[in-house]
A and B are shown apart, each in its own frame.
Chain A
Amino acid sequence: MTVGSLYRLRDIGRLRRIASVLARHGFVDVAERVHVMQALRRIGRIFRRRSAAAEVIPWTRRIRLAAEELGPTFVKLGQMLATRPDLVPMPLVLELRRLHDEVPPFPFEDVRATIEAELRRPLAEVFEWVEEDAVAAASIAQVHRARLKTGEEVVIKVQRPRLQEVIGADLRILLLLAQTIEARVPEMRPFRPVAIVEEFRRSLSREMDFSTELSSMQRFAANFADEPMLHVPHGYPQLSTRRVLVMERIEGAKITDRAALDAMGVDVKAVVDLGMRFTLRSIFEHGFFHADPHPGNFFIRPDASIALLDFGMMGSVEPQRLDEMLTWMVGLLTGDLDMMVGLLLDADLIGDETDVRALRGELRGIVDRYQHAALASIDVSALISEVFDVTVRHHVFLPADLLLVGKAMATMEGIGREAWPDFQPLDAIRPYLTEVYLKRMLDAKKHSQVAVRSLVEGATLLKDAPLDIRRVLRKLRRGELQIVHRSADAPAEIRARHARTNRLILAALLPVFFFGGVWLTGSESALHNAAGLVSLGLAWLFFIGLGISMLGDGR
């Protein structure tokens, strides 16, 4: 299968352009390694000479410049990779964070055509007026001020024309490049280029669908309904489609526009603290957060409330992961290494090749250093990237949601410091996280819900247990007999006193035997899952049962 034959004919022009940009930025060798160049040479002899610039400009910078030159797909890809210090070396991460997403606006004719095609009505039927000059133009969309016929002041976010086509072609090319790289450059395989492109494709298509953005906006607003100081623009579902988004216009100043904030008489420090608190709440209480909180998306209104914009890129975290994250962060913030390393082990994030003692040692170094530093001098982003760096080096598997959280927090810190140079993020982070951690750990409702769920699932599964499981259970019953036998040797009064506990300790041993049994019989994964659930249910049973008898004894 040759590379050339796989590209669609209409993608070839674009491929040539990509190749020539790469070559101009000095990446001929890379391209040659993946044999794209032979194919391209045949197509069009584009690599006559290497750019002289390539010799002096660092490779990281050349990658960034090439991405900017190549347009939206590559800019977005670069921005995504900038959030993956587990995949991309730190110098490149830092460089990619500087990617500019500023492009000249597209003409108003296209704006009008898109809106009319999407809403299937003439512009003048819906809007009193639409400002012809865009307020902002980025690679995916641009924003225009407008007023509805009904009098409301709004903005319209309009997607770039032909964006789907351009990005579609780029994505096909990227995927093919990734496949070729994976096949021909073995040292790149651990970075799973194909999986990255697939993940990127998914996140980009979410970002290109404004109806997703609208529903994120609504969900975020509902989560913060109790917070009068955080405002999320009201969206207009009847006037919004995949490519057009109409929402309430926010009047205010950017959080980093010090002069404007001073003119409004706003207390910048209070606003920055507020911003940090919202960010933390959205992550650690709702598990649904703004993954792209740059200063342009934080508007401060005259009453000192914060309006958040741009819900195109959201992060979400499962409750289980939230607990893990909280535990880990509290471990970090309180300098408890056992808590940190233990969690990584429990959550199965540590690979076989990890030297746990060395990892512990390095974490100790970080914790010590910053525990003794003055609060003010602690740079949370640096701390986060240092921790990422250590974990990556020790082959700790970092899930993508966790990386997004790291990014969101680091960005919020950056905004805070930019707006208020004396901002001390840990002042806000440490007590907040400790409080949430305590509340979650000591939340009886949450724990009992988990118990009921696993109990019900466990019981249901057991009822229809396949033969294999029943066989394991039969083995287990022999274990049960043995335990009862042993306890019969104990003095009578203890036996009486612990009669109930014994039965429950049996319940505790059940999952142990059970799991062990299933593993031993070497069943396939469906069974493992079932066993996991049952075992969880039983473990919970034990937890509760043992508790009952312990409380009974104590009284």
Chain B
Amino acid sequence: MREGSLFDEALRRGLESYVAEMLRIHVAEGLLARPEIRAALGPQHFERVRAEVLDRLRRSEEEGREARPAVSTAVSDVLSLLSRIAGRPGSGGEGSP
């Protein structure tokens, strides 16, 4: 695994971009569709907050789009590290004395 790569600005932005897209598609609509939330804010206030929140998500999404490959690389890095550790011979597996 490339040391320090996890701290990359690219990774951060790529991740933010993914997270933003997921939040927008899978979470935001659900939350914003709840009638209690709309009622608590009142129609005008609701529309303003909704626009603001979705706009911010879209911006994070777009700004980090070109950095997304960094995330996939980091994910596979960690997964391969994991399987290396788990498979390291003589590392005290079950039943070994």
Contacts and interface: CB of A to CB of B under 8 A. Distances in A.
Nearest to B52: A439
Contacts of B40: 330, 333-334, 430-431, 434
A162 B68 CA distance: 63
B23 A442 contact: yes
B12 to A, nearest CB: 6
A123 interface: no
Interface residues of A, dominant DSSP: helix
A331 B40 CA distance: 11
B23 A447 contact: yes
Contact of B88 (A330, A470, A548): A470
B87 interface: yes
Listed residue (A336, A444, A548, A554) with the most chain B CB atoms within 10 angstroms of its CB: A444
Given A434-B37, A476-B86, A547-B21, A459 B78 contact: yes
The bracket for how many chain B residues form the interface is 35 or more
A473 interface: yes
B34 A334 contact: yes
Interface stretch (A15-23, A139-147, A460-468): A460-468
Contacts of A452: 6-7, 11-12, 15
Contacts of B36: 334-336
Given A455-B6, A477-B86, A448 B93 contact: no
Contact of A510 (B20, B21, B82): B82
B81 A462 contact: yes
Given A334-B37, A452-B12, A470-B91, A462 B23 contact: no
Interface string B33-48: 0101101111001000
19 contacts: A334-B40, A335-B36, A336-B36, A431-B41, A434-B37, A434-B41, A438-B37, A441-B27, A444-B17, A444-B60, A459-B1, A459-B78, A463-B85, A465-B85, A474-B93, A480-B83, A544-B18, A545-B75, A547-B19
Given A335-B36, A477-B87, 7 more contacts: A334-B36, A438-B49, A448-B18, A451-B19, A470-B92, A547-B22, A548-B71
